A and B are shown apart, each in its own frame.
Chain A
Amino acid sequence: MTTHSGTTEVSGEPSRGEDRQGFDEIHILWISEGMSCDGDTVSLTAADQPSIEDLVLGLIPGLPKVNLVNKVLSPSLGGEDFLAPYRAAARGDLAPFILVIEGSVPNQNVIEGDGYWTSFGNDPETGEPQTLNHWIDELAPKAWAVVAAGTCATFGGIHAMAGNPTGCMGLADYLGWDFRSQGGLPVVNVPGCPIQPENFMETLIWVLYHAAGSAPPPPLDHMLRPQWLFGKTVHEGCDRGSYYEQASFAGDYNSPKCLVKTGCWGPVVNCNVPKRGWMAGIGGCPNVGGICIGCTMPGFPDAFMPFMDEPPGGTLSSIAIKPYGAVIRRLRGFTNELVNHEPRWRHNKRKLTSGYDPHWRP
C-alpha cells in the first residue's frame, strides 16, 4: 500500500507550452441602461453551465481573467465608484474590454431641446445626465468586442413595437450592421426576451476563448446570431412537433398536443429553447404548454401579434398536413396497438415456447 497518487507537482507550469496570441486579462463592461427590464442580467444569474461565479472566480480553464462590471452584481456602492472603469475605458485607459449592451437603444434625435429617454451617470463637468447613446458612442469604437444581450439590444424588441414614443432600435441598427469592433468582430447578437441563460454564457465564453487566442471567432448568421444556437427552429426541437406531423392540434391550452392553432409560431422561429429547456433543462415554451411568440426574432413582437391567434401560415400548413397526418396517425395506431402486447411465449406453462434451442441438454 502506498499513498503515492502518481501525480507530479510542477507548480505554476502552464499545461501547454505554445505561445498564445490572446489576452490574459479582460474587462467586461456591461451597460443595462438601455431601454430594458434588466431581465437579461437576471437571466444570466440563472446560468449554471457555467455559472457567473465560475466565470468570475476563474474556474473555467483557458479563459483570460475576467473583471465583470455589471450594475446589478457590482459590490460597489454605486455612482462614480461604479462608473470609474467606464470612464477609464472612455478615456482609453482601460483595455481590452468587451462592451455588453442590454436594452433597446433610444433615438435621442426625436427629442427637441434637453431631455433624455435613458441615462447612465452624469457628466462630471456639468452634472447633467449622460445618455446611453453618449456611452455607446464613446465605448463601442474602443471595445475589443461588442455583445448585444437580449432581443431589445439585438433588434429593438418590445420597446420598439409599433406606436412606441422613443424611436428605439437595436444596437446594430444604431452602430450600423457593418460595424466592426477593435477585435474585428461585428456586434455579437444573442437574442431572447430574455436571453436563455446558458445560450448567453456559452456565447460569452466563446468570445472569451477567442480573446484568449485559443478559438476562432464565434460563427454568426446574417442577423449576427450564433449559428449553433439559432440555426434550427423551435419546431425542430419541440417535443410536441410529432403531434404536428400527425395533424393532432390542440384546440385550447388544456391539451398536450401541437399548439399551432392556439398561437404557436414555433415552426418558423429560430430558437433552441424547447430542446435546451429554459434552465438546467427545465421549462421552455411549447414543450411545456406555452405558445412560441417569437421573442428571439428580429420581427418580434409586431410580426407575431395578436399572440393567441393562429399564425396566418399555420392555417395552410395545418390543412396540408391533415390527410397525411390522419393516415399516419391511424397506421401508427395499429402498430402501437401491436407493440403494446407481449409476445405469446411469456407464460408459466411447462412447455418452453420462446424458440430457445437447447443444444447441449437433451
Chain B
Amino acid sequence: MTTTEARPTGRKPAQIVDMSWDPITRIIGNLGIYTKIDFANREVVECHSTSSLFRGYSVFMKGKDPRDAGFITSRICGICGDNHTTCSDYAQQMAYGVKPPRLAEHIVNLGEAAEYMFDHTIFQDNLVFVDFCEAMVKATNPGLLARAERTDAPRGDIHGYRTIADIMKAFNPFEGEVYKEALKVSRVTREMFCLMEGRHVHPSTLYPGGVGTLPQPTVFTDYLSRLMRVIDFVKKAVAMNDDVFDFFYEALPGYEEVGRRRILLGCWGAFQDPDVVDYRYENMNRWGRAMYVTPGVVVDGELVTNDLVDINLGLRIMLGSSYYEDWVGEEPFVTHDPLGNPVDMRHPWNQTTVPVPQKRDFDGKYSWVMSPRWLDGRTGDHLALDTGGGPLARLWSTALSGLVETPYIKATGHSVRISLPKGETLPETTLEWRIPKWSNTIERDRARPYFVAYAAAMALQFLEEAMGLVRAGDTKVFENFEVPDEAIGCGFHEAVRGVLSHHLVIKDKKIANYHPYPPTPWNASPRDKFGTPGPYEDAVQGQPIFEENGPDDFKGVDIMRTVRSFDPCLPCGVHMYVGKGRTLTTLHSPTYGANHG
C-alpha cells in the first residue's frame, strides 16, 4: 500500500452526504474537491480532486526555439512564473553546456529568495490564514473561539498580541492588522524581486546563460534595505503561527489527524551554489547536494535519496483518471541518460501529451491533471509523493541530509536552525524548525513562515557574496552559448509550493519535447492506474471533522484547511464546496453507507 493506512471506521451507522467545493477559493487556479462525509462518525470517507483547466504548454512548445522556453513556461503560473523560468534555464543550461557567471547565480538566488518570501507571506497570511481567522472560527467552531479569547498567547512578547483570539482577529480579511500588513510586506518583497528579476510575475531579466540585471551596487543596497525592513515581520509571523497552531493541537485533541498523510515527501532542491554547480548531468549528484536547500525523497521519516540522478530516473507520469491518451506506443525520445542509465517510457523525457476532452466521471476520468509518481527502487512502489505545500518537504529534506551550513543556517540532521539579525524592534533571533511527528495540515502550514525566515537568511548570505564580487569588479552576469543540434536537459528546482522539474529534448535546434512538472500535479493528482489516490485525496480521505456545524450549515473548514495547506495552485493543473450544507445527491444512502461505512 503506497498511501496512508485507513483509519478505523464504522462506530456508528454511517450518515453519508455528498459535498463538493468547486471552485475552491483563495488559491490560484481551478480546483474542485468532491467528498463523501459521514456526519454520524464525523469524518470524510471519500475524496476526489479535480482540475478543470487545460491549456497545453507541452503541446504548443514543440517546434519552437529552445531559448524561448523560459519566457513561455513562465506563463504556466501567475504566482511562481519565475520559478518556471529559473527551472527552464537550468534545463537549458544543461542542454547547451553553459555555466552562468557566479554573480548571475547570486542574482537568481536573490530573486528566488524574494519570491519565496513574497509568495509564502501572501499565501499564508492573506489566503490560508483566513481559515484560522476570528470570523471563520466564529462561523465554524464558536466554542473554540471562546476558548481562544481566554487563552494567553505564549509568544506575545514577540508579536504583541495578548490572546490567541487577538491574533485570529488580526487575520480577518481586509480589516485585520496582520492581513493588511502582510499585503504591504508582500509588496516590499516583490519590489526586492523586481530589483533582481525585473518584473513580477513573469521576470524580464532571466536568460539561459545568466541574467541581464545590471549588477550595480545600488540594486543590492536597495534589496538589503528592504529586507531589513521586513525582518521583524518575519520573526513575528513565526511566533504568531506557532501560537495559533499549538493552540489548535491543545484545544482540539485529535486535530493532528486533520490532513495527516503517510510521510511521503519530495523536494528537488533550491538555491545553487555558484562555486559547485556546472549543470553537467554527469555531476548532478555533486552539485545537487551542494544546493542550499537539499533535494531529497523522504519516506516514513527516512531519507531515501538526495541524489538528483536517482530522483530524475525515478520519475513516472501515470494516467488512470486524467483526460489524456496514453503515449506508451510512441517512439521514445530518450532511451538512456548521459550516464548510460535506461530511461523509462513513462518518464517526462519520453512523454507525449494528447488531450482528450470528455465528460467528468468520478468512476472513470475526472481531471486534467495527470498523476506523477516516484518509483521507489527498494519496493517497486509508485509513490504519490507530496510536497508538503513546499516548505515542509524542503525543511524536512534539508534537516535530514544535514548538509547545509552557512553563516545563518545550519541543518542538524533533525532540525534546521535559522539566525536572523537584529531588526527595528526585535533583537537577533535564532529560530529552530524541528522535524515534526506528523505530515499533516498544521505542520504544512507551520513550516511556511519558517521557510520565509530561511529564505531571508539565505538572502543575507547571497547579498554578502554578490556585493563581494561587485566590489572586486567581477560584474559579469551572462555567458554566451550555442544551441546544439541535438541535446537533452533537465532542470530541478523548488517552485514556492514544492518540486519543479523541466525536461527538454532538442532536435534540429528546435524543441522536440518539453515537459514541465510543477508541484501541483504531484499534490492534486487524481487516482492513478493502480487506483492510488493523489495527495489531496489521500490527505482529506479519512480525516476527522471538527467543525461544530451539522450537514445543513456545514462549511467544510477542516477540509479546506487541509487542501489549502498544500498551497494549491492549479494553473499548472484545478475546483470544492457546497455552502450551507447543500447536498448534491445523496442523504443517508443506505446502500452507499453499507459499502463504505
Residues facing B in A173-217 (CB within 8 A) are 193-194
CB-contact partner of A163 in B63, B67, B126, B204, under 8 A: B63
User: Among B194, B357, B585, which residue has its beta carbon within 8 angstroms of that of A111?
Assistant: B357
B-contacting 9-mer, from A50-58, A325-333, A350-358:
A50-58
Contact of B29 with A162 in the complex, beta carbons under 8 Å? no
CA distance A273 to B556 in the complex (A): 43
**CB–CB B201/A161 < 8 A:** no
Given contacts A73-B26, A76-B579, contact A42 B78 (CB under 8 A): yes
Cβ-defined contact, B21 with A254, below 8 A: no
CB distance from A45 to the nearest CB of B (A): 7
Interchain CB contact under 8 A, A305 and B477:
no
Q: Which residues of B contact A193 (CB under 8 A)?
A: 75, 202
List chain A residues, Cβ under 8 A from B356. 115
Contact assessment for B198 and A293 in the assembled complex, using a CB-CB cutoff below 8 Å: no
- A46 interfacial by beta-carbon distance below 8 Å: yes
Instruction: Assess A301 versus B72: contact at CB under 8 Å? Given A37-B81, A72-B26, A306-B67.
Output: yes
| In the bound complex, CA of A280 to CA of B492 (Å) | 32
Q: Could you say which of B79, B204, B478, B577 contacts A42, with CB atoms under 8 Å apart? A: B79
Closest to A163 in B: B60
A256 interface residue (CB < 8 Å to B): yes
Q: Mark B474-493, 1 if CB is under 8 A from A, else 0.
A: 01111010000000000000
Contact B23 A293 (CB under 8 A): no
In the complex, the answer to whether B190 meets A46 with C-beta atoms within 8 Å is: yes
Q: Is the CB of A115 within 8 A of B359?
A: yes
The docked-state distance in angstroms from the alpha carbon of A163 to that of B213 is: 32
Is B323's CB within 8 Å of the partner chain A? Answer: yes
Is A38 a contact partner of B199 (Cβ separation < 8 A)? Answer: no
> 1/0 contact trace for B96-130 toward A, CB 8 Å?
00000000000000000000000000100011001
A42–B122 Cα gap in the complex (Å)? 10
Contact between chains at B199 and A164 (CB < 8 Å): no
A78–B560 touching, CB < 8 Å: yes
Chain A residues whose C-beta falls within 8 Å of the C-beta of B28 in the assembled complex: 37-38, 41-42, 72
Flag if A74 contacts B571 (CB, 8 Å): no
Give bound CA distance, A68 to B299, whole Å.
43
B72 A253 Cβ-Cβ under 8 A: no
Residue of A111, A113, A252, A305 contacting most chain B CB atoms (<10 Å): A252
In the assembled complex, the CB of A293 is this many whole angstroms from the nearest CB of chain B, namely 6
Verify B78–A37 contact, CB threshold 8 A. Answer: yes
Q: Are A77 and B78 in contact (CB under 8 A)?
A: no
Provide the B54-71 mask, 1 if CB < 8 A to any CB of A, else 0.
111001101111011001
Query: Among residues 58 to 97 in chain A, which have CB atoms less than 8 Å away from a CB atom of chain B?
Result: 71-84
- Closest Cβ of chain A to B588, distance in Å, is 19
Please measure, in the bound complex, the distance between the C-alpha atom of A162 and the C-alpha atom of B359, giving whole angstroms. 27
Is A57's CB under 8 angstroms from B174's CB? yes
* Residues of A with C-beta under 8 A to B174: 53, 56-57, 75
The answer to whether B56 and A165 touch across the interface, beta carbons within 8 angstroms, is yes
Indicate with 1 or 0, residue by residue over B203-233, a CB within 8 angstroms of chain A CB atoms: 1110101111110000000100000000000
Interface centre among A33, A48, A165 (most CB of B within 10 A): A165
Question: Closest A-chain residue to B201, C-beta based?
Answer: A39
Judge whether B576 is part of the interface by a CB distance below 8 angstroms.
yes
What is the bound-complex CA distance between A114 and B360, given in angstroms? Answer: 9
List which A214-258 residues lie within 8 A (CB) of chain B: 252-254, 256
Nearest CB to that of B353 among chain A residues? A165
Across-interface contacts of A289 in B (CB, < 8 A): 198, 204-205, 211-214
Q: Are B198 and A284 in contact (CB under 8 A)?
A: yes
CB contact between B53 and one of A78, A84, A118, A259 (< 8 Å): that residue: A118
A280 to B191, Cβ gap below 8 A? yes
Whether the Cβ atoms of A161 and B60 lie closer than 8 Å is yes
Which one of A1-9, A121-129, A140-148, A339-347 is at the interface?
Answer: A121-129
Specify the chain B residue showing the minimal Cβ separation from A159: B55
Contact of A37 with B75 in the complex, beta carbons under 8 Å? yes
Cβ 8 A contact of A121, one of B68, B199, B358, B575: B575
* B interface majority secondary structure: loop
Whether the pair A158, B204 counts as a contact (CB closer than 8 A) is: no
Say yes or no: B23 contacts A33, CB within 8 Å. yes
Closest-by-CB residue of B relative to A80 is: B579
- Residue count of chain B within 8 Å CB distance of chain A: 92
Contact A35 B53 (CB under 8 A): yes
Interface 0/1 of B491-509, CB less than 8 Å to A: 0000000000000000000
Q: Binary interface profile of A, 122-139, with partner B (CB < 8 Å = 1, else 0)?
A: 100001110000000000
Residue ID in chain B nearest A75 by CB atoms: B173
Using Cβ atoms and an 8 Å threshold, which residues of chain A touch B480? 252
Closest chain B CB from A299 CB (angstroms):
15
Contact residues, B37-66 vs A (CB, 8 A): 52-56, 59-60, 62-65
Q: Is B137 interfacial (CB 8 A cutoff)? A: no
Are A81 and B78 in contact, with the CB atoms below 8 A? Answer: no
B77 within 8 A of A: yes
Mark the stretch among B144-152, B179-187, B281-289, B446-454 that contacts chain A: B179-187
B412 within 8 A of A: no
Q: Is B241 an interface residue (CB 8 A)?
A: no
Give chain A nearest CB distance to B474 CB in angstroms. 12
Report the minimum CB–CB distance from B365 to chain A (whole Å): 10
Contact in complex: A74, B26 (CB < 8 Å): yes
Given A46-B190, A116-B52, A305-B64, A77-B577 contact (CB < 8 Å): yes
Do the beta carbons of B55 and A166 come within 8 Å of each other? yes
**Chain B min CB distance to A144 (Å):** 24
Contact B201 A283 (CB under 8 A): no
Residue of B nearest to A158 (CB): B75
Considering the chains assembled together, what is the distance between the CA atoms of A45 and B256 in angstroms?
A: 33
Contact between A306 and B68, CB atoms less than 8 A apart: yes
Query: Does B7 belong to the interface (CB within 8 Å)?
Result: no
Instruction: Tell me the nearest residue of chain B to A34, going by C-beta.
Output: B53
> Chain A's nearest CB lies how many Å from the CB of B178?
13
Q: Which residues of B contact A114 (CB under 8 A)?
A: 357-359
- Please measure, in the bound complex, the distance between the C-alpha atom of A283 and the C-alpha atom of B579, giving whole angstroms: 42
Residues of A within 8 A of B180 (CB): 53
How long is the Cα–Cα vector from A114 to B175 in the complex, in angstroms? 44
Residue in contact with B22 in the complex, picked from A121, A165, A288, CB distance below 8 Å:
A121
CA distance A283 to B29 in the complex (A): 26
Q: Tell me whether A313 is interfacial, beta carbon within 8 Å.
A: no
Asked if A307 is an interface residue, CB under 8 A from chain B, the answer is: yes
Q: Give bound CA distance, A41 to B123, whole Å.
A: 13
Q: How far is the CA of A279 from the CA of B55 in the complex (A)?
A: 28
Write the nearest CB–CB distance from B287 to chain A, whole angstroms.
Answer: 23
Which residue of chain A has its CB nearest to the CB of B557?
A77
Q: Give complex CA distance A113, B360 in Å.
A: 12
**Cβ B135 vs Cβ A280 within 8 A:** no
Contact of B60 among A46, A82, A165 (CB under 8 A): A165
Are A290 and B204 also in contact (CB < 8 A) when A81-B580, A306-B65 are? yes
Instruction: Give Cα distance in the complex from A134 to B205, angstroms.
Output: 39
B584 CB within 8 Å of chain A: yes
Q: Separation in Å of the A266 CB from the closest CB of chain B?
A: 11
Interface centre among B24, B29, B175, B200 (most CB of A within 10 A): B200
Residue of B nearest to A254 (CB): B478
> Is B30 interfacial (CB 8 A cutoff)?
yes
In the complex, how many angstroms separate the beta carbon of A312 from the nearest chain B beta carbon?
15
**B261 contacts the other chain (CB 8 A):** no
Q: A72-B26, A129-B52, A194-B78 are in contact. List 9 more A-B contacts (CB 8 A).
A: A33-B23, A78-B21, A127-B584, A165-B56, A165-B60, A253-B209, A282-B195, A288-B204, A301-B68
The 6 listed contacts between A and B (C-beta, < 8 Å) are A71-B23, A73-B126, A78-B25, A78-B577, A166-B55, A193-B202
Q: Which residues of A contact B (CB under 8 A)?
A: 33, 35-43, 45-46, 48, 51-53, 56-57, 71-84, 104, 111, 113-122, 127-129, 157-159, 161-166, 168, 193-194, 252-254, 256, 259, 273, 277-280, 282-285, 288-291, 293, 295, 301, 305-308
Q: Which 6 A-B pairs have the closest CB atoms?
A: A79-B577, A39-B78, A290-B204, A115-B357, A283-B194, A81-B579
